[in-house]
Amino acid sequence: EAQVTQNPRYLITVTGKKLTVTCSQNMNHEYMSWYRQDPGLGLRQIYYSMNVEVTDKGDVPEGYKVSRKEKRNFPLILESPSPNQTSLYFCASSSPRIDETQYFGPGTRLLVL
């Protein structure tokens, strides 16, 4: 089954404790992206990757890091989480040469205390 997976789905952590949210897709998509969803703000892009070893900032990159060492994986790293990073996070992927549609993972709900 073609899908985007994220882990963990739910996470409660404390300020300053480094964490990683994993994202993996099995569709051989070149493009991957991270969004965060906050009430009243919709979804906003954090980082994106055009392909392996090619990443760039989106609209709200502060406090986040990413890497793209393999085509299927695009982890989101919070080096020192703060309460304002409490949010719902989505990973998405697509293949620009084939389809304009982005396919989303199930989301990761993060609470930073």
Partner 1 sequence: AQTVTQSQPEMSVQEAETVTLSCTYDTSESDYYLFWYKQPPSRQMILVIRQEAYKQQNATENRFSVNFQKAAKSFSLKISDSQLGDAAMYFCAYRSAYLNFGNEKLTFGTGTRLTIIP
Find the binder of partner 1 among 23, 25, 31, 87 (CB under 8 A): 31
Interface with partner 1, residue 53, by CB under 8 A: no
Least distance in angstroms from the C-beta of 40 to partner 1? 6
The stretch near partner 1 (CB under 8 A) out of 17-25, 61-69, 77-85, 87-95 is: 87-95
Nearer to partner 1, 40 or 62 (CB): 40
Least distance in angstroms from the C-beta of 16 to partner 1? 27
DSSP string covering the chain, please? ---EEEE-SEEEE-TT--EEEEEEESS--SEEEEEEEETTTEEEEEEEEEETTEEEE-S--TT-EE--SSTTB--EEESS--GGG-EEEEEEEE-TTT-S--EE---EEEEE-
Nearer to partner 1, 18 or 57 (CB): 57
